[in-house]
Amino acid sequence: MMGIKNIVFDLGGVIIDLDREKAVRHFEQIGVTDAEALIDAYEQKGIFLEVEDGRIDAEEFRRKLSVHTGKQLSLEDVTNAWLGFVVDVPQYKLDYILSLRKMYKVYLLSNTNPILQLQWAQTPRFTAAGRPLNDYFDKLYTSYEIGVTKPDRRIFEYMIADSGMIPAETLFVDDGKSNIEVGKSFGFQTYMPVNGEDWRKPIDAILEK
């Protein structure tokens, strides 16, 4: 086994504890009656997918969702609904990631959208420590900026080419089975935690091999 030089983390379900049902309820409360059919823990559908793969921006999403619900929604309404996904952002995980950066290149590869990122994650509101998500990583690779979502191979290809990482020297940590399978096909070493897991010891064990 080649020594690990890079670690790639997913965001939702790995760093952030998620609650899909709460997110569905939040969107239903602002009038998205079919939220149950549109919202997924791993890959969205309809306009929810369009904002995650970059086809539409935050303002276009707000406008389309307003049309969809038949009422004028503000960016704040939409942001608060997206934040329904978030149960907790455990600071201990972020502190651990900072400690990893002393020895490894650490990246984020996430299916996410500009609303969650620019209104929350990449602002001091993200953590109790008052530090934005980008403070914790060497680089963020987000689906809406790259224009494709996991598990599509193209988002992995983009990250590999841009970072210069060698998959065999990279640990990929993601809670999605299909994402892990694609990661393995590239030659990444992988770990698949469950939502809410404290994965520090399992990752330490992999890194110590």
Predicted confidence (pLDDT) at residue 1 exceeds the cutoff of 60 = no
User: Burial level of 128, CB count in 10 A (0-12/13-18/19+)?
Assistant: exposed
- Rounded to two decimals, the pTM is 0.96
User: What average pLDDT does the segment 178-202 reach?
Assistant: 97
pLDDT in tens, 66-115: 999 999 999 999 999 999 999 999 999 999 999 999 999 999 999 999 99
The residues that are catalytic are 10
Cis peptide before 202 (omega within 30 of 0): no
Nearest-angstrom CA–CA distance, 128 and 126: 7
Q: How much is the mean pLDDT over the chain?
A: 96
Predicted confidence (pLDDT) at residue 35 exceeds the cutoff of 60 = yes
Nearest of 153, 141, 73 to residue 105 by alpha carbon? 141
How far, rounded to the nearest angstrom, does the alpha carbon of residue 4 sit from its chain's CA centroid?
22
- Please tell me the predicted confidence (pLDDT) of residue 43: 75
